[in-house]
Amino acid sequence: MKSTPLFLLVPLAWASLALADPASQQPLSANVWLQSHRTNAADAFGYSRFTLLGKFVTSPGAAAPDRPAFIVDCIPPDESPRSKAMFLAENLLVGTPLKIIYVEPEEIRGISYFPKVAVRYRTDNAKREEEEQWSPTSDKTSASVPKQSLKELLRARTVAITAIDDHGRQVAMQFDMPDPSLVEQSCNVDEH
């Protein structure tokens, strides 16, 4: 007699789980800045890392991660020695070794050349591509984005970037840029 009410509740429980399941399986939008808190062990300070995932239009091969990413690091105001947010760096993470070119400095002092990665990028539907030379990181799988370029990229809706890998193949990436206000304010991007 007591098993009958329990028997009637089981289908009701299964139905409620079935209705709740689609909402829990919705994929997260890739069009957001993911924020995490990190600590620099060497200098013992905390910083915020903002990550935006993009997609490969022309894949660099099996050596690269699933997706390219923009990574912006900055010190939040509460951990900054100046009590305001400080921009640290932005990197374009490609995940495969990039072709390094050596550029002669404007002012020559001895024999020295700077390693650079040649990139082309286009924001939104601009007719003209910007061509720049960004500094490679130590592992040569990413490049450091200059702050002035970051300002332009943050304010775009879409960004298409092309670089060359160390085998001479073109690597094309695309980013759908979300609202820039979180990164701009948290990193004090507009500071001179």
Tokens at 186, concatenated:
């948290």
pLDDT for residue 66: 74
Q: Is residue 21 assigned to a domain?
A: no
Lowest mean pLDDT among 20-24, 136-140, 167-171, 185-189: 20-24
In a domain, 192, yes or no: no
Parent domain of 108: 28-187
Three-state SS for 7?
Answer: helix
Residue 27: per-residue pLDDT: 43
Instruction: Map 131-166 to HEC letters.
Output: EEEEEECCCCCEEECCHHHHHHHHCCCEEEEEEEEC
**Stated pTM of the model:** 0.77
The answer to whether residue 116 is domain-embedded is yes
Q: pLDDT band for 108, please (50, 70, 90 cuts).
A: low
23 pLDDT tier (thresholds 50, 70, 90): very low
- Domain assignment present for residue 18? The answer is no
CATH number of the domain that 147 lies in? 2.60.40
Say if residues 133 and 118 touch (Cβ distance below 8 Å). yes
Count how many domains the chain has.
1
Say if CB 106 and CB 100 are below 8 A apart.
no
Give the model confidence (pLDDT) of 56-82 as tens digits.
Answer: 998 776 655 678 999 999 988 877 777
Residue 38 lies in a domain: yes
